[in-house]
């Protein structure tokens, strides 16, 4: 059976987007080993070609950010759903970090109701904040 290793984002600025998501989720930005960093610098490589963040508790999925063109979509087909107990406070916190609030979402299936707030990260990747 396979397990989820990374969720990968195509983006313009991996370091900036990694910083946003690390702050949003309480994750840690992964640092490159000094030996690899020295090699990349010596080769003149783009040091912002990729970035990764991970859950310091080792429970959440690693997020990987890769500098490359994104596919254009009119909807948010694949996205992260974040859970919170205090939606207004979390929306305000995420907006202060650089996110954009898009609007509310609502779905009722039989007796079950789901509510969320649609948001976008600093590069326009959609995500939802569930209550």
Residue ending a domain, choose from 53, 70, 87: 70
Question: Which DSSP helix (H) or strand (E) runs through 23?
Answer: helix 14-25
The model's pLDDT over 65-123, given as tens digits with 9 standing for 90+, comes to 999 988 877 777 789 999 999 999 999 999 999 999 999 999 999 999 899 999 999 99
Measured distance CA(104)–CA(119) in Å, rounded: 9
Contacts by 87-94, CB closer than 8 A, 24 or more apart: 87/117, 87/129, 87/131, 90/129, 91/117, 91/119, 91/129, 94/24, 94/119, 94/129
Residue 100 and residue 129 share a domain: yes
The model's pLDDT over 36-66, given as tens digits with 9 standing for 90+, comes to 999 999 999 999 999 999 999 999 999 999 9
Residue 61 and residue 8 share a domain: yes
Closest Cα to residue 30, out of 13, 4, 54? 54
Domain range spanning residue 32? 1-70
Residue 98 and residue 54 share a domain: no
Residue 91 and residue 66 share a domain: no
Residue 64 and residue 112 share a domain: no
Residue 66 and residue 94 share a domain: no
């Amino acid at each position: 059976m396979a397990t989820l290793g990374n969720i990968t984002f195509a983006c313009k600025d991996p370091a900036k987007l990694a910083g946003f998501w690390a702050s949003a989720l309480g994750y840690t930005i992964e640092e490159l080993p000094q030996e690899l960093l020295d090699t990349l610098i010596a080769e003149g490589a783009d040091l912002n070609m990729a970035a990764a963040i991970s859950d310091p508790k080792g429970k959440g999925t690693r997020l990987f950010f890769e500098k490359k063109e994104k596919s254009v979509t009119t909807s948010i087909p694949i996205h992260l759903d974040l859970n919170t107990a205090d939606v207004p406070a979390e929306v305000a916190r995420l907006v202060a970090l650089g996110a954009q609030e898009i609007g509310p979402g609502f779905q009722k299936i039989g007796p079950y109701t789901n509510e969320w707030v649609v948001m976008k990260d600093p590069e326009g990747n959609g995500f939802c904040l569930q209550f």
